[in-house]
Chains A and B, each alone.
Chain A
Amino acid sequence: MALNKEQIAQRIAQEVQDGYYVNLGIGIPTLVANFVREDIEVEFQSENGILGMGPFPFEGEEDPDMINAGKQTITALKGASLFDSATSFGMIRGQHVDLTILGAMEVSQNGDIANWKIPGKMVKGMGGAMDLVASAENIIVAMMHTNRAGESKLLKKCSLPLTGVNCVKKIVTNLAVLEVVDGKFKLLERAPGVSVSEIEAVTEGDLIIEGDIPEMKL
């Protein structure tokens, strides 16, 4: 069975380690916070200016001066800090943030990512995505393996305008966990019940398949 969005987030949460500062993008990445192990200490950064972001506020306790980068009302955890935008991106560019998780429209086998613009359609902007992908050392992409038309989103070369080049390290889709190695997608894990050939059939980019590919453990 292919994973649903919660399960993709659940699998990515396994990559989050004790002591990590993590920036989560909008969409599936936001869900990752719900699945991080409770026995480790992790701080979430939101690029509009908070480290130590907590859950949504209780009904009636929302504060218009406390939002995340998706403009949702949030809370601050104990030990949180607040700062301006230049400081926030200083953390990002200065590689103080350990892990960046974001969505994508396309990823290429050399680690390029496209996630901000579809020519001819409304362009909303890149927000902080270009700064994040250009600087982060550890980038995980969370996305569906194919687009709505059923076409592969893991490509030899991105067709859409790029957000960053040679930056994606790992990709978790509804079908597989893959790593960008030597300009190819190395297949690391399969979704439970999904065969290697099913993954090959919907991956346009070159795959490295070595030995038995284990199923993901959720």
Chain B
Amino acid sequence: MINKTVADVSEACKGVSDNMTFMLGGFGLSGIPENAIAKLVELNVKGVTCISNNAGVDDFGLGLLLQKHQIKKMISSYVGENAEFERQMLSGELEVDLIPQGTLAQRCQAAKTGIPAFYTPAGYGTEVGEGKETKEFNGKMHLLEHAFKADFAFVKAWKGDTAGNLIFKGTARNFNPNMAGAAKVTVAEVEELVEAGELDPNHIHVPGIFVQRIFQGEKYEKRIEQLTVRKK
């Protein structure tokens, strides 16, 4: 088996530098690469473009990079719940590209799977479609959207093995499988890293070929954004 294991998050982030484009998995705070984000804050890389569905909250997730003014541009579908984000956006310090969520996922998937561009009906007739090529298929108008280009993809899985195979849990899967393999280097962090052969090949969600580096995260806070419960 080809071994994708790296010692820790420092080795996993080797080669990260200013002005790069990163993909970061997660939906809200669920399934975000917590350890890689903490490392990016520590490395203090500046001027980065982040492709991520959301932008975290003020003191967690990508909000931590925003606090330190490390992000030049965010490409997301929804960026509420973040006061510092709002301030930087309104003051013009932060560039923001808002795109439909399905288009975001598919632009990752396209980058991963060698599709340079694709047509989607999402956003046709809206400001999202301004300046984009359009084409009619089956009587319906579509927009031409392009695959993303990114330097690093940081994804988070529940379990992984030394061959880089990944298994997710619950809705923490979200964008992670679509981003794995969509950048020049994919860094996967997992809650539990096991030897190749210990995971059932029938249960692998992302084959190791899409992952260049894998490590077990030191700890996971897994913060809940909206706690909603019912009484027993």
Residue among A49, A162, A164 facing the most chain B CB atoms (10 A cut-off): A49
Q: Size class of A's contact patch?
A: 35 or more
Chain A residues touching B, majority SS: loop
Whether A71 touches B28, Cβ cut-off 8 Å, given contacts A57-B229, A57-B230, A65-B170, is yes
Please state if B169 and A73 are interface contacts (CB–CB under 8 Å).
no
Inter-chain contact total with CB atoms closer than 8 Å: 181
How many Å lie between the Cα of A84 and that of B106 in the bound state? 11
Q: A104 interface residue, CB < 8 Å from B?
A: no
How many Å lie between the Cα of A93 and that of B127 in the bound state? 19
Please state if A65 and B227 are interface contacts (CB–CB under 8 Å).
no
* Chain B nearest CB, measured from A181 CB (Å): 19
Closest to A55 in B: B230
Q: Per-residue CB proximity of B64-97 to A under 8 Å, as 1/0?
A: 0000000000001111100000100110000010
Please state if A59 and B77 are interface contacts (CB–CB under 8 Å).
no
| Chain B contacts for A61, CB-based, 8 A | 229
Q: CB within 8 Å of B: which residues of A? A: 46-50, 55-74, 76, 82-86, 88-89, 92-93, 112, 122-131, 134-135, 161-166
Q: Which 3 A-B pairs have the closest CB atoms?
A: A89-B102, A131-B102, A65-B170
Beyond A58-B232, A67-B27: 12 further Cβ-contacts under 8 Å?
Answer: A46-B171, A59-B230, A59-B231, A64-B222, A68-B171, A71-B226, A86-B178, A93-B122, A122-B80, A125-B76, A161-B127, A162-B126
Q: CB within 8 Å of A: which residues of B? A: 27-31, 53, 76-80, 86, 89-90, 96, 98, 100-106, 108-109, 120-128, 158, 168-178, 205, 222-232
